[in-house]
């Protein structure tokens, strides 16, 4: 393939991907769409510039305007997340975790966390950031009924292991973590408490999940592109007033794990923070309400939805079981749903041991909420699941009906979108938006 053909192939693939999500139901729990104002920042001149250091303390000239952007972003982040310290430089949630682990641990230190089999994130595991830092991992005993760490067992583990760092947070994240007794154990043994809020960061910021920094966490990390509806990137927050501790966190990010840190993404995060300051509480509340309504609707259709006795969820996620442990039924269900125009992901459930043949599917409603769907639409979406997975209808027919349904939900909500623009076709967006047209 020649160079022009290769470039064209990339553009064509991007258009096809856009069409897939525009016409379908994007329900992967770790994804979201961005607003037009956020998108605008991604094609500014910031994309190719460097600004190592902090505002006013740079290693390059020409950073004055970006200093304004980053300083404003840090101020907005401290307000949204009600904290004394905010670093908005990291390029992902995993990079945020790496930065904190570099700041607060040494190779060989013990750490406690949720196992990946129970829904923990891969960055908390030996194959991820924890392993990269050379830490000794101990995983919490798990409360399968309540889908969170067994409190008594976890506190006992912390007192026994005496870890340097106690880590909370999950990738499959239905309910807040009961932190009180485990944090008390951590403080007894002198451990630092870290909470990875990547999946639920928008719900935390919107006051709809739990408030880790008020519940004993010394550090809160997270992604800027899941329930927090911004660009790809990450955050590190703390309410510590200790300047030495704050310097350690800053240094963990730069020079610890980033050099230049994608200034266009940082600028886009700042716009997202401004929009979240105004719209975030309502967005978070609507997202959780939709997730609970969707769980109930799926159960009514006949699906095995986890945690039914607890109202299914208190986050943006719903988890369904589709067969026996390690049966691969979750993988099969996810593939069938994609053929129906519904994008989800297979997921291990407690008891599964094989990541590629799990029994579960993890589902998120945050993006459907973002385009204006409410509780009534959750019932319609659940019926598409029923038709595809229980009634075994022709996926092509379901997909046509999904496309017709989704056509009514294209406008990005909960943001400054005076022109009522859609969020799925950047090429069209660039042509329709005067401030973006010059970059198209």
How confident is residue 439, by pLDDT bands cut at 50, 70 and 90?
very low
Q: Do domains 39-273 and 279-430 have the same CATH topology?
A: no
428, pLDDT greater than 90: no
170, pLDDT greater than 90: yes
Which pLDDT belongs to residue 423?
Answer: 85
Q: Mapped to the 3 state alphabet, what secondary structure does the chain carry?
A: CCHHHHHHHHHHHHHHHHHHHHHCEECCCCCCCCCHHHHHHCCCHHHHCCCCEECCEECCCCCHHHHHHHHHHHHHHHHHCCCCEEECCCCCHHHHHHHHHHHHCCCCCEEEECCHHHCCCHHHCCCCHHHHCCCEEEECCEECCCCEECHHHHHHHHHHHCCCEEEECCCCCCCCCCCHHHHHHHHHCCCEEEEECCCCHHHHHCCCCCCHHHCCCCEEEEECCCCCCCCCCEEEEECCCCHHHHHHHHHHHCCCCCCCCCHHHHHHHHHHHHHHHHHHHHHHHHHHHHHHHHHHHHHHHCCEECCHHHCCCCCCEEEEECCCCCCCHHHHHHHHHHHCCEECEEECCCCCCCCCCCCEEEEECHHHHHCCCCHHHHHHHHHHHHHHHHCCCCHHHHHHHHHHHHCCCCECCCCCCCCCCECCCHHHHHHHCHHHHCCC
432, pLDDT greater than 80: no
Which pLDDT belongs to residue 429?
Answer: 59
| Domain-wise residue ranges, the chain | 39-273, 279-430
Q: What is the mean pLDDT of residues 173-202?
A: 98
275, pLDDT greater than 50: yes
Which pLDDT belongs to residue 350?
Answer: 85
Which pLDDT belongs to residue 438?
Answer: 44
pLDDT tens, residue by residue, 300-337: 999 999 999 999 999 999 999 999 999 999 999 999 99
How confident is residue 351, by pLDDT bands cut at 50, 70 and 90?
confident
Q: How far is CA 336 from CA 330, 341, 405, in A?
A: 10, 9, 19
The mean pLDDT of the chain is 95
Which pLDDT belongs to residue 427?
Answer: 56
The token duo for 111 is: 């750490």
- CATH architecture entry for 39-273: 3-Layer(aba) Sandwich (3.40)
How confident is residue 414, by pLDDT bands cut at 50, 70 and 90?
very high
430, pLDDT greater than 90: no
434, pLDDT greater than 90: no
pLDDT tens, residue by residue, 84-96: 999 999 999 999 9
pLDDT tens, residue by residue, 219-252: 999 999 999 999 999 999 999 999 999 999 999 9
Q: What is the mean pLDDT of residues 341-360?
A: 94
133, pLDDT greater than 50: yes
CATH number of 279-430: 3.90.1150.10
How confident is residue 185, by pLDDT bands cut at 50, 70 and 90?
very high
440, pLDDT greater than 70: no
258, pLDDT greater than 80: yes
Q: What is the mean pLDDT of residues 57-61?
A: 95
pLDDT tens, residue by residue, 366-410: 999 999 999 999 999 999 999 999 999 999 999 999 999 999 999
């Amino acid at each position: 393939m020649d160079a022009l053909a290769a470039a064209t192939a990339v553009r064509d693939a991007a258009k096809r991907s856009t069409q897939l999500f525009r016409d379908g139901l994007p329900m992967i729990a770790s994804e979201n769409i961005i607003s037009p104002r956020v998108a605008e920042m991604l094609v500014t001149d910031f994309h190719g510039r460097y600004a190592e250091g902090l505002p006013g303390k740079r290693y390059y000239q020409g950073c004055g305007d970006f200093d304004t952007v980053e300083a404003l972003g840090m101020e907005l982040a401290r307000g949204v997340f009600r904290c004394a310290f905010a670093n908005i430089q990291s390029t992902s949630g995993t990079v945020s975790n790496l930065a904190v682990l570099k700041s607060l641990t040494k190779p060989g230190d013990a750490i406690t966390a949720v196992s990946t089999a129970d829904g923990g994130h891969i960055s908390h595991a030996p194959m991820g950031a924890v392993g990269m830092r050379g830490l000794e991992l101990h995983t919490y005993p798990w409360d399968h009924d309540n889908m969170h760490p067994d409190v008594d067992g976890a506190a006992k583990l912390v007192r026994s292991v005496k870890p340097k760092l106690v880590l909370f947070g999950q990738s499959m994240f239905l309910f807040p973590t009961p932190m009180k007794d485990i944090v008390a154990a951590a403080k007894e043994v002198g451990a630092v408490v870290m909470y990875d809020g990547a999946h639920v960061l928008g719900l935390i910021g919107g006051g709809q999940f739990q408030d880790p920094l008020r519940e004993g966490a010394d550090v809160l990390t997270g992604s800027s592109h899941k329930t927090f509806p911004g660009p790809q990137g990450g955050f590190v927050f703390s309410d510590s007033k200790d300047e030495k501790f704050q310097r350690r966190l800053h240094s963990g990010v730069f020079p610890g794990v980033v050099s230049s840190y994608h200034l266009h993404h940082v600028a886009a995060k700042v716009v997202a923070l401004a929009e979240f300051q105004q719209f975030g509480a309502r967005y978070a509340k609507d997202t959780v309400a939709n997730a609970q309504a969707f769980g109930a609707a799926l159960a009514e259709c006949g699906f095995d939805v986890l945690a039914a006795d607890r109202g299914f969820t208190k986050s943006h996620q719903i988890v369904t079981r589709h067969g026996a442990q390690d049966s691969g039924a979750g993988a099969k269900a996810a593939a069938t749903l994609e053929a129906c125009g519904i994008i989800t992901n297979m997921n291990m459930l407690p008891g599964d041991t094989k990541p590629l043949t799990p029994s579960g599917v993890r589902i998120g409603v945050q993006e459907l909420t973002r385009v204006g769907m409410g509780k009534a639409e959750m019932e319609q979406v659940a019926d598409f699941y029923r038709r595809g997975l229980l009634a075994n209808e022709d996926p092509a027919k379901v997909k046509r009906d999904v496309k017709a349904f989704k056509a009514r939900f294209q406008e990005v909500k909960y943001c400054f979108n005076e022109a009522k623009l859609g969020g799925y076709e950047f090429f069209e967006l660039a042509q329709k938006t005067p401030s973006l047209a010059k970059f198209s």
